[in-house]
Structure 1
Amino acid sequence: MKKNKWLASLSFILILTVVLTGCNFSGGNTNSPSTGTDTNDTNAAPPAAAQTLNVYVENEMKDLNQLSASDDISWTILNNVGEGLYRLDKDNNPVEALAQGVSISDDKLTYTFTLRDGLKWSNGTPITAADFKYAWLAEMNAETSKNGYAFIMTDYITGGEEYASGKGSADQVGIQAKDDKTLVVQLKKPTPYFLRLTTMSVFFPLNEEFVKSKGAGYGLDPQSVLYQGPFVLTKFDPASGATLEKNKDYWDAANVHLDSVNVRVIKEQSTALNAYKAGDLDRVLLSATDVDSNKDNAEFSQLINFRTTYLQFNLKADGVSNVNIRKALELAYDTSSLADNVLKNGAKGAVGMVPEMMSGDGEKTFRELQGDLFKVDAAQAKTYWEQGVKELGKTPKLTLLVADDSETRDVATFLQSEFKTNLGIDVAIDTKTVKARNELMDNSNYQFGITAWGADYDDAMTYLDLWSNHSPYRGNYESKQYDELIASAKSETDDKKRTDLLLQAEKLLVQTDVVTAPIYHRGVAQLIKPDVEGLIYHPYANPVEFKYVTKK
């Protein structure tokens, strides 16, 4: 995720390594539970058991205010007590939610959304197009938006950047509430993934009168929030957990089968695993050490997240400024071996920057269209290394900068060993706190480092436009060809041509210039109770859906 273009990615990832990464089960429907029986009828069937889901997260629940929430735990709660124009389905496609449809102009710049009839907030107030306009303008306004995600609107909506910077007025922003049910949005450029963006909690509506009535207290407790999603929040303690109950006023309440969801805060993985074994949790995340002993369990499964961990080379640094040195390093490690033998958590060895399953041309994924951009090749790696040393006139001394979490340290140790085995070189490892690592990279004070990026939306652009900003954190990459590919893709209205431009950009980034060397895509290993169906995990944006869950 972006947040001043990289910081949110980090917080997103560190927190979503947590636990609410659900499961892509496609659950069948069941009838809503009975509300009771006649106690005088001795032959009456007993009441249906309550449909309650029990899950957990590994960190505190920070925020209920969508204008300040930026972590995945908060987004999970907001996604299930709220809703936008569209919601992701079990296949990660946007489907109509509060909107009953959209009309898109031929030039793909004007979106006219029509809201459903009878939409209501949890206090009975009608939901209108004006609620979306108010919320979106508040997200762009530096005085009200504190989550770092204003860019997700200002990058796309006309007049947004000017309004956010104080150089334009709200009236000049391309958002118009024509009437209570009609919202018109004007985009700067064709954005094929715009409907996917509207599924994010930052695009949810807000009731202006209610928000202003709560003032600084908005979002601090269940009573200071209005709900328009499948559930309402009845209990909330940031340190211990939350309780969600079915929202009877939700427009699609008939298709919500859970009565309640209990979300506990459990920081120790061993404690969570014990709670799962005792039947107190319906799902648990496994550590790498627990995978081997559970992989034959029928309740075991693995998932991929749209998050890529990679080597970022500093193109201005000694040694790695040489492209042949970078190519040698990229071909000197086996990403599959890392995923299968070290991480063991469902991670997938990377063969490109863009993860598997990310959308491509509508028929094939981006990864299927591109294929593998590199794979381990010790002989070729040595050839590149020798050529690089010859061009530099010396053998460079290399230091790998890494953050101090256990997974990154394990990855760094693996890479160090691979470089020794396949290139015969000793690479030093410099371990810093996340903050210190970021500062060194921001100041261009590194050779190469391990970092990561999590997708904001299901499109390759969420990765590839990062290296058009020429920042030290992105390796000081300067390429007119790359910039032109990205700029052309952003303005291209033909989807096939646009995809081809992005394929060229990834190849230039990873294979030709080797600005980055992808390592792996985040994985999740889990156990989930067999009576739970329809717990859907999205590999980007709002991560987990409780709406479709049924307990057998």
Structure 2
Amino acid sequence: MKKALRTMVSVVLAAGMVGCSSGSPSGTTPSAEAGSSAPAETAQSAETHHSSTVTIAVFSQFTSMDPATNGELVNGYLLHHMYRGLYRMDENSQPQMELATAHDISEDGLIHTFTLRDDAKWSDGTPVTASDFVYSYLRALSYGVDASNPIYNMTTFIAGAEEYSLNALEVGDSFDCTTEDHSSVGIEATDDHTLVLTLKKPCTYLNTLLCSGAWLPVHQSTPQHESAWALQGGYPCDGDHKLTEMNPNDKAVMVKNEYFYNADQITMDEIVWQVVPDTESQHLAFQAGDIDIATSITSDVAKSYKGTDELWVGLQTNTYCLTFNSGATGPEWAQNLNLRRAVAMAIDQKAVADVVGGEEFYPVLSSFMPLGLEGVDGDFREERDSEGGYTLVYNPEESKRLLAEEGYDESNPLKIEYYYSTNSIHNDVATCLQQMWSAVGIETTFKAVESGVYYEAWYNGDFEISRYGVALSHPVTALNTFTTQYQRVARIGDATYDAMVEDIQATIDPKEALRKCHEAEDYLVDEMAYIVPMFQFTLPMLKNPALTGQQINGAYLYFGESTWAE
């Protein structure tokens, strides 16, 4: 079975203040010298904004606007405006029907029939049809290795999809999804407004998957095996806005799609996404009135705006944790359970959260899943936390004991390399970790790189222990991330865990599947210590107070229905 070649990870949304002590880790880039963080009279608060344009500062460059290949959060912000799928995530992180007006499911859970709305159009004025979805899904399945992670759930659940995709990979770029036989693949348009998906096993969270990623439709004029077109403006899309200008390292501009089926509800004519990687630069740009939204600010700055109408704080279903490379490409020490536990139990998560801004902005997590995900009878994290009994907790004395048991002491310290991408919060976390590990006798060196190159080495298992941030939509999709099948290189290759997740996917009853998710999470984190939970993100941002109607839909920011005060 072909291993997936991309890991669905997101660049982490946040930035920190100072480290556990003064100074930056070696190999990192210290943030610019900050001026006052106090909320001085800003250009936004001094005058009314009359333009139907909003400018948002984002922290990283744009890498892919192709739904079949994207796996990064900032790209997802734009795609959330440019495309509409069968379902769409609402402000409560719940999937709602979007282009689908009806969704019928067979008793065995395998046949899903979608009726499409008849007024949906592409930005070139042509209708969106069921055949567009067929083309889009077959294109994604036959795209090539760069789509391997986004299509993971397609190949996992759609009948015949895995075999079709493997055949396309063998043929290469000459494979034409418009002419190749796909009669054995469970993707069919029975008429212009009816799409039928046939699954090989039940999927209790299919509606969540359909909200984003490779499940979004693209126009049938879209090239099959490349994505260069997606970093240029002017191509058709079916969302409320269309891309008109793109400089991946500078900014992207999108304007309202006049053919959008619900165009009367779209109030923002133009949206500008400005790349501003440095948190202090975002703050200064906001104060100067150059941007309307600063999406990455330090919690120092956020606290200084507390109680004002310029602070916008949203809870995101994101998690920040550490991952060990316990697979074949990892170091010998990371394959040792006692040493993984020793490294984990030396970390005081609350102290780290306090340094980067406090639990008001970075709530400490007891395990991998964040608050805000569906559980058996409520919130997934809350219902498990209420049971207690976690063992992978801060305990430096137990950490020292485990190290000694494995033959490490002051004369023979465990030496580890911590891998992370540079921004202020990652730098500060690294400083804290180094000090905490040093306190139990672990020597730490740093490998710090820019965010644009961070994940390539991470995908390939070229690290020992790393920071990891990801936006999550459902417990099952979160757990899938760490299965052997999902990873390009198995950083966690555990047959027991793989079997647990496979059993969850085969479970028809949604509540029973979620109960099993709790068991799999406990195994992944508490029992095997493959992951060290750290904290969840709220998203503290600065917002022009004249702007209203902004939303957070699941993990994505949305401004299409925002308005300016007169």
Shorter-chain TM-score: which interval?
Answer: 0.7 to 0.9
For residue 335 of structure 1, what is the aligned residue in structure 2? 349
Distance change >3 Å, CA 139–CA 179, structure 1 → 2: same
Cα distance in 1 for residues equivalent to 2:198 and 2:438: 54
Cα distance in 2 for residues equivalent to 1:228 and 1:420: 53
In structure 2, runs of 5+ residues without a counterpart are 16-48, 169-179
Cα distance in 1 for residues equivalent to 2:165 and 2:493: 28
Cα distance in 2 for residues equivalent to 1:215 and 1:415: 41
Letter of the 1:389 counterpart: A
For residue 272 of structure 2, what is the aligned residue in structure 1? 262
For residue 514 of structure 1, what is the aligned residue in structure 2? 529
For residue 290 of structure 1, what is the aligned residue in structure 2? 301
Question: Are residues 1:526 and 2:555 paired?
Answer: no
**Larger Rg computed on CA atoms:** 1
Deviation string 1:207-251 (CA, Å, 9 cap, x unpaired) is 32x33699987445433x113211233444445433333323221
Q: Contact 2:61–2:248 at 8 Å: present in 1 too?
A: yes
Q: Residues 229-268 of structure 1 correspond to what in structure 2 (within 5 A)?
A: 229-268=239-278
Q: Contact 2:325–2:463 at 8 Å: present in 1 too?
A: no
Question: Are residues 1:399 and 2:416 paired?
Answer: yes
Question: Are residues 1:483 and 2:498 paired?
Answer: yes
For residue 428 of structure 1, what is the aligned residue in structure 2? 444
Question: Are residues 1:198 and 2:210 paired?
Answer: yes
In the TM superposition, residue 352 of structure 1 has moved relative to its aligned partner by: 0.1
Aligned to 2:88, what secondary structure does the other structure show? strand
Q: Contact 1:163–1:169 at 8 Å: present in 2 too?
A: no
Report which stretch shifted further, 292-301 or 331-340: 292-301
Q: Contact 2:68–2:151 at 8 Å: present in 1 too?
A: no
Q: Contact 2:84–2:238 at 8 Å: present in 1 too?
A: yes
Q: Contact 2:362–2:535 at 8 Å: present in 1 too?
A: yes
Cα distance in 2 for residues equivalent to 1:404 and 1:544: 23
For residue 166 of structure 1, what is the aligned residue in structure 2? 167
Cα distance in 1 for residues equivalent to 2:314 and 2:61: 24
Cα distance in 2 for residues equivalent to 1:217 and 1:418: 45
Q: Contact 2:231–2:246 at 8 Å: present in 1 too?
A: no
Return the TM-score normalized by structure 2.
0.78
For residue 24 of structure 1, what is the aligned residue in structure 2? none
Deviation string 1:326-378 (CA, Å, 9 cap, x unpaired) is 334333322122112235592332210111212212x4111112115357443
Cα distance in 1 for residues equivalent to 2:300 and 2:147: 38
For residue 82 of structure 2, what is the aligned residue in structure 1? 81
Cα distance in 2 for residues equivalent to 1:55 and 1:152: 32
In structure 1, runs of 5+ residues without a counterpart are 19-47
Q: Contact 1:308–1:354 at 8 Å: present in 2 too?
A: no
Deviation string 1:363-404 (CA, Å, 9 cap, x unpaired) is 4111112115357443xx424642563465976523242235
Cα distance in 2 for residues equivalent to 1:61 and 1:111: 34
Aligned to 2:404, what secondary structure does the other structure show? helix
In the TM superposition, residue 140 of structure 1 has moved relative to its aligned partner by: 0.7
Aligned to 2:222, what secondary structure does the other structure show? helix
Q: Contact 1:138–1:144 at 8 Å: present in 2 too?
A: no
For residue 468 of structure 2, what is the aligned residue in structure 1? 452
Distance change >3 Å, CA 468–CA 63, structure 1 → 2: closer
Cα distance in 1 for residues equivalent to 2:336 and 2:227: 53
Letter of the 1:175 counterpart: I
Cα distance in 2 for residues equivalent to 1:330 and 1:217: 42
Q: Residues 409-424 of structure 1 correspond to what in structure 2 (within 5 A)?
A: 409-421=427-439, 424=440
For residue 36 of structure 1, what is the aligned residue in structure 2? none
Aligned to 2:519, what secondary structure does the other structure show? helix
Among residues 456, 461, 475, which one is paired with 2:476 in the alignment? 461
Cα distance in 1 for residues equivalent to 2:459 and 2:71: 22
Distance change >3 Å, CA 238–CA 342, structure 1 → 2: closer
Cα distance in 2 for residues equivalent to 1:538 and 1:370: 25
In the TM superposition, residue 64 of structure 1 has moved relative to its aligned partner by: 4.1
For residue 90 of structure 1, what is the aligned residue in structure 2? 91
In the TM superposition, residue 182 of structure 1 has moved relative to its aligned partner by: 0.2
Q: Contact 2:321–2:531 at 8 Å: present in 1 too?
A: no
Deviation string 1:429-458 (CA, Å, 9 cap, x unpaired) is 242547689759956874xx1231414x51
In the TM superposition, residue 75 of structure 1 has moved relative to its aligned partner by: 2.9
Letter of the 2:297 counterpart: L
Distance change >3 Å, CA 388–CA 535, structure 1 → 2: same
Cα distance in 2 for residues equivalent to 1:59 and 1:436: 12
Distance change >3 Å, CA 400–CA 217, structure 1 → 2: closer
For residue 222 of structure 1, what is the aligned residue in structure 2? 233
Q: Contact 1:138–1:145 at 8 Å: present in 2 too?
A: no
In the TM superposition, residue 204 of structure 1 has moved relative to its aligned partner by: 2.3
Cα distance in 2 for residues equivalent to 1:240 and 1:433: 20
Deviation string 1:26-73 (CA, Å, 9 cap, x unpaired) is xxxxxxxxxxxxxxxxxxxxxx95533222234444444434444433
For residue 51 of structure 1, what is the aligned residue in structure 2? 52
Question: Are residues 1:13 and 2:11 paired?
Answer: yes
Aligned to 2:78, what secondary structure does the other structure show? helix
Among residues 197, 203, 211, which one is paired with 1:185 in the alignment? 197
Report which stretch shifted further, 313-322 or 187-196: 313-322
In the TM superposition, residue 260 of structure 1 has moved relative to its aligned partner by: 2.6
For residue 102 of structure 2, what is the aligned residue in structure 1? 101
Letter of the 1:211 counterpart: T
Cα distance in 1 for residues equivalent to 2:533 and 2:447: 20
Aligned to 1:398, what secondary structure does the other structure show? strand
For residue 116 of structure 2, what is the aligned residue in structure 1? 115
Among residues 542, 546, 549, which one is paired with 2:559 in the alignment? 546
Report which stretch shifted further, 386-395 or 96-105: 386-395
For residue 426 of structure 2, what is the aligned residue in structure 1? 408
RCO greater where, 1 or 2, for CA within 8 Å and sep 6 or more?
2
In the TM superposition, residue 97 of structure 1 has moved relative to its aligned partner by: 1.4
Distance change >3 Å, CA 399–CA 85, structure 1 → 2: same
| RMSD of Structure 2 on Structure 1 (CA) | 3.5
For residue 494 of structure 1, what is the aligned residue in structure 2? 509
Cα distance in 1 for residues equivalent to 2:257 and 2:229: 20
Cα distance in 2 for residues equivalent to 1:279 and 1:215: 38
Aligned to 1:308, what secondary structure does the other structure show? strand
For residue 368 of structure 1, what is the aligned residue in structure 2? 382
Distance change >3 Å, CA 520–CA 374, structure 1 → 2: farther
Question: Are residues 1:278 and 2:288 paired?
Answer: yes
In the TM superposition, residue 161 of structure 1 has moved relative to its aligned partner by: 0.9
In the TM superposition, residue 155 of structure 1 has moved relative to its aligned partner by: 2.1
Aligned to 1:484, what secondary structure does the other structure show? helix
Distance change >3 Å, CA 275–CA 129, structure 1 → 2: same
Distance change >3 Å, CA 165–CA 516, structure 1 → 2: same
Letter of the 2:282 counterpart: A
Cα distance in 2 for residues equivalent to 1:473 and 1:348: 31
Count residues in correspondence: 505
Cα distance in 2 for residues equivalent to 1:444 and 1:264: 31
Report which stretch shifted further, 167-176 or 288-297: 288-297
Cα distance in 2 for residues equivalent to 1:326 and 1:49: 56
Q: Percent identity?
A: 23
Distance change >3 Å, CA 468–CA 56, structure 1 → 2: closer
Cα distance in 2 for residues equivalent to 1:74 and 1:281: 19
In the TM superposition, residue 539 of structure 1 has moved relative to its aligned partner by: 4.6
Aligned to 1:127, what secondary structure does the other structure show? coil
Distance change >3 Å, CA 63–CA 496, structure 1 → 2: closer
Q: Contact 1:154–1:161 at 8 Å: present in 2 too?
A: yes
Letter of the 1:518 counterpart: P
Distance change >3 Å, CA 274–CA 188, structure 1 → 2: same
Aligned to 2:374, what secondary structure does the other structure show? coil
In the TM superposition, residue 493 of structure 1 has moved relative to its aligned partner by: 0.7
For residue 187 of structure 2, what is the aligned residue in structure 1? 175
Q: Contact 2:347–2:437 at 8 Å: present in 1 too?
A: yes
Among residues 339, 364, 368, which one is paired with 1:349 in the alignment? 364
Aligned to 1:314, what secondary structure does the other structure show? coil
Cα distance in 2 for residues equivalent to 1:342 and 1:144: 37
